[in-house]
């Protein structure tokens, strides 16, 4: 209900908001029905309960909603998780960013969970946009053909990669945040199983082995200390040994790896320059 309250309170409300229920037993249908009776721009779409729970289900749910709005006249389309909340000017903030830069195709903000930032933007690219709340310029969304239904996950990440490959800019703007009320990646598995799955997903989405080694080391400094990072690395390298089919084309793998290596060079160069500046300052002192 927090998500519904957040959207209803927005200073800029959607032309139409489709909330898709896919067999949830948490009372979502009753909550949405109540609000839809008060706001004619809110609509509930019920889907059959899914026997299998996988990430492609999110895309099927989104597409059911998209079918209800695709013929409307609009400029921006968004996807929201059902367990987030945000400030009343969240949408207006992101819409202003899109209006200021015609090359932006996909925007969002960071999210917080359990009172801590989920991303450290010293290491996570500001061009990555979390799937909790993604706002697409209509032309960008149509250029990429919408979301890809990938059972293993990474649906939101693939959308970001596809947008960038089509020449659009994507960006997370840190002036606002949204609060996620369920820990990411733990809806179906415990924390360590989720870490292993994340590592396997990194392989599936074309992550470079060198990048994954550094990611593993970095994650070892986060809770659960040491083992969390090791499990993530194990997920990646287990997949690397097994070499399952990837859900993305080869050119997307190559694109992502080029990006990762460019970011790594930039990070290392920046760190080296910083150390040199510190050494020079120390020498002058």
Task: List pLDDT tens digits, range 103-130.
Answer: 999 999 998 876 555 566 766 789 999 9
Domain end residue (candidates: 180, 202, 228): 180
**Residue 18: its H or E element:** strand 17-21
Q: Is the peptide bond before 224 cis (omega within 30 degrees of 0)?
A: yes
206 and 142: one domain? no
Domain with 16 in it: what CATH number? Answer: 3.90.550.10
Task: List pLDDT tens digits, range 168-189.
Answer: 999 999 999 999 887 655 544 4
Helices (H), the chain: 2-8, 28-38, 56-69, 90-100, 138-144, 155-165, 191-204, 209-219, 227-242, 250-284
What is the average pLDDT score of the chain?
90
217 and 270: one domain? yes
Task: List pLDDT tens digits, range 7-17.
Answer: 999 999 999 99
Provide the number of structural domains found in the chain.
2
| 113 belongs to a structural domain | yes
Pick the closest to residue 15 from 64, 72, 61, 88 (CA basis).
72
Domain end residue (candidates: 161, 180, 199): 180
Task: List pLDDT tens digits, range 208-248.
Answer: 999 999 999 999 998 889 999 999 999 999 999 999 999 99
172 and 224: one domain? no
274 has a pLDDT exceeding 80: no
152 and 194: one domain? no
Q: Computed from CA positions of residues 218, 224, 226, 230, in that sequence, does the dihedral angle turn out positive or negative?
A: negative
229 and 91: one domain? no
| 280 belongs to a structural domain | yes
134 and 270: one domain? no
Q: Which residue has the tokens 């979390």?
A: 130
Q: What are the residues whose beta carbons fall under 8 Å from the beta carbon of 57, sequence distance 6 or more?
A: 22, 50
Task: List pLDDT tens digits, range 72-88.
Answer: 999 999 999 999 999 99
| 185 belongs to a structural domain | no
Give residue 226's domain range.
190-285
Can you tell me the distance from the alpha carbon of 17 to that of 275, in angstroms, rounded to the nearest whole number? 51
Pick the closest to residue 199 from 213, 183, 180, 184 (CA basis).
213
The answer to whether 158 and 205 are in contact (CB under 8 A) is: yes
What is the predicted pLDDT for the residue at 285?
Answer: 47
What is the predicted pLDDT for the residue at 272?
Answer: 54
173 and 56: one domain? yes
Q: Which residue has the tokens 């089509």?
A: 166
- Residue 180, classed as helix, strand or coil, is strand
Q: What are the residues whose beta carbons fall under 8 Å from the beta carbon of 104, sequence distance 6 or more?
A: 97, 98, 137, 168, 169, 170, 171
- Prediction pTM value: 0.90
Cβ neighbour number for residue 245 with a 10 Å cutoff: 5
43 and 145: one domain? yes
Domain end residue (candidates: 143, 158, 180): 180
167 and 199: one domain? no
Cβ neighbour number for residue 269 with a 10 Å cutoff: 10
What is the predicted pLDDT for the residue at 188?
Answer: 44
What is the predicted pLDDT for the residue at 28?
Answer: 86
23 and 118: one domain? yes
Can you tell me the distance from the alpha carbon of 237 to that of 139, in angstroms, rounded to the nearest whole number? 37
Cβ neighbour number for residue 98 with a 10 Å cutoff: 18
């Amino acid at each position: 209900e927090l998500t519904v309250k957040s959207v209803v309170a927005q200073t800029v409300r959607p032309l139409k908001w489709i909330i898709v229920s896919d067999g949830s037993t948490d009372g979502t249908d009753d909550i949405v029905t109540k609000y839809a009776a008060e706001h004619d721009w809110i609509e509930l779409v019920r889907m059959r309960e899914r026997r299998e729970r996988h990430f492609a289900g999110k895309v099927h749910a989104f597409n059911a909603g998209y079918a209800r709005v695709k013929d409307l006249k609009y400029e921006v389309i968004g996807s929201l998780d059902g367990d987030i909340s945000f400030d009343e000017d969240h949408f207006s903030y992101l819409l202003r960013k899109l209006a200021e830069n015609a090359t932006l195709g996909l925007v969002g903000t960071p999210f917080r969970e359990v009172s801590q930032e989920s991303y450290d933007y010293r290491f996570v690219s500001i061009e990555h946009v979390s799937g909790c709340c993604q706002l697409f310029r209509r032309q960008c969304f149509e250029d990429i053909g919408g979301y890809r239904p990938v059972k293993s996950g990474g649906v939101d990440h693939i959308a970001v990669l596809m947008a960038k490959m089509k020449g659009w800019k994507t960006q997370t703007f840190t002036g606002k945040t949204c609060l996620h009320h369920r820990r990411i990646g733990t809806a179906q598995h415990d924390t360590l199983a989720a870490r292993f799955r994340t590592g396997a997903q990194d392989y599936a989405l074309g992550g470079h082995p060198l990048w994954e080694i550094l990611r593993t080391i970095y994650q070892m400094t986060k809770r659960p200390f040491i083992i969390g990072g090791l499990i993530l690395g194990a997920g990646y390298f287990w997949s690397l040994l097994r070499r399952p089919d990837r859900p993305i084309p080869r050119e997307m793998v190559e694109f992502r790896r080029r990006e990762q290596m460019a970011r790594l060079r930039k990070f290392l160069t920046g760190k080296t320059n910083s150390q040199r500046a510190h050494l020079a300052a120390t020498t002058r002192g």
